[in-house]
Amino acid sequence: MRLDKFLSKATELSRSECKKILHRGEITVNDEVIKDGSVHIQADDEVLWAGEPLSVADGSRYILLYKPDGFECTLKAKEYPIVTELIAVPEVASLRIAGRLDVDTTGALLLSDDGAWLHRATSPKRHQPKRYEITLADPMTADEQAHAIKQVANGILLEGNSEKTRPAELSFIDETHATLILTEGKYHQVKRMMAYFGNKVIELHRASIGTITLDGLEMGECRFLTDDEIGQF
């Protein structure tokens, strides 16, 4: 790979900015100052910028992030910081999200730079179960809970949709806390489903995607998926 291309991939610098740092002698390859961006480097070469090592991604990455509240699942920051700011890997800007979460929703978020895998991970044909933990604004009586559980299991017709939701599994922990397992991902689906029963979701957390859980992660932390986890999609 050409050195100038390597620099643009390993940093967020433009090509012209890469030329400037090369010209200033800030780049070394195997302890030798290199100013020519056309020089080809090998995978085992040590490239430093002002003494700091640089690297680029080797193959595709598959990442699980424990998303905190207050982060957007977008490519560019708007009102809130973006989730990729929490991930320290080379070429983080190349990562894309499979199944976005709202700013105020926490939990499991998958990211990758493998386009085909991302397509499979978000395909409705996969029927991958996603488990959500819900906190409701208003308490629901035992009769209301039983009614909601039955309705959700049969599918409900949300406002603006022409087809019912897929059968899903709803269970209640107490009057204001529930879990919901979905195998689809319509727009704001969990919140809209609870609104169907006249209630409002005030806290929402995605606990798992398929067999992928957040075990061992603290909020804001991430890890690479295992081969078995990648193979789910």
Q: Which residues are catalytic?
A: 102
User: Which tokens is 69 given?
Assistant: 């509240």
The set of residues, in sequence order, having a beta carbon less than 8 Å from that of 95 and lying 6+ positions away, is 61, 63, 84, 87, 89, 111, 112, 113
Q: Between 3-10 and 15-23, two packed helices, what is the crossing angle to 10 degrees?
A: 110
Burial pattern 158-183, b for ≥16 Cβ within 10 A else e, equals: beeeeeebeebebebeeebebebebe
The domain that holds 80 is classified in CATH as 3.30.70.580
pLDDT tens digits, 73-110: 988 888 999 999 999 887 888 899 998 999 999 999 99
pLDDT at 231 over 70: yes
The domain that holds 181 is classified in CATH as 3.30.70.1560
pLDDT for position 124: 76
Surface-to-core class of residue 137, CB atoms within 10 Å of its CB (0-12 exposed, 13-18 middle, 19+ buried) = exposed
pLDDT for position 125: 79
> Rounded to whole angstroms, how far apart are CA atoms 230 and 233?
6
120 and 168 in a single domain? The answer is no
113 and 220 in a single domain? The answer is yes
Beta-sheet pairing, 105-112 with 130-136: unpaired
> Rounded to whole angstroms, how far apart are CA atoms 87 and 94?
12
pLDDT tens digits, 170-220: 999 999 999 999 999 888 999 999 999 999 999 999 999 999 999 999 999
108 and 219 in a single domain? The answer is yes
35 and 77 in a single domain? The answer is no
192 and 134 in a single domain? The answer is yes
pLDDT for position 36: 94
The domain that holds 31 is classified in CATH as 3.10.290.10
pLDDT for position 179: 98
The answer to whether 102 and 188 have CB atoms below 8 angstroms apart is: yes
HEC-encoded secondary structure of 103-151: CCEEEEEEEECCHHHHHHHHCHHHCCCEEEEEEECCCCCHHHHHHHHHH
The set of residues, in sequence order, having a beta carbon less than 8 Å from that of 215 and lying 6+ positions away, is none
Q: Which of 13, 29, 54 is the last residue of a domain?
A: 54
Full domain range(s) for residue 225: 62-124+214-230
187 and 133 in a single domain? The answer is yes
Q: Averaged over 145-164, what is the pLDDT?
A: 95
pLDDT for position 57: 61
> Rounded to whole angstroms, how far apart are CA atoms 112 and 119?
10
pLDDT tens digits, 22-57: 999 999 999 999 999 999 988 788 999 988 888 776
User: Which tokens is 1 given?
Assistant: 């790979």
Site of tokens 């879990």: 179
Q: Averaged over 11-29, what is the pLDDT?
A: 89
This model's pTM is above 0.85 = no
136 and 163 in a single domain? The answer is yes
pLDDT for position 149: 98
Position 58 confidence tier, pLDDT thresholds 50, 70, 90: low
Alpha-helical segments (H) within the chain: 3-10, 15-23, 115-122, 142-154, 189-196, 227-230
pLDDT at 117 over 80: yes
User: Domains in the chain: how many in total?
Assistant: 3
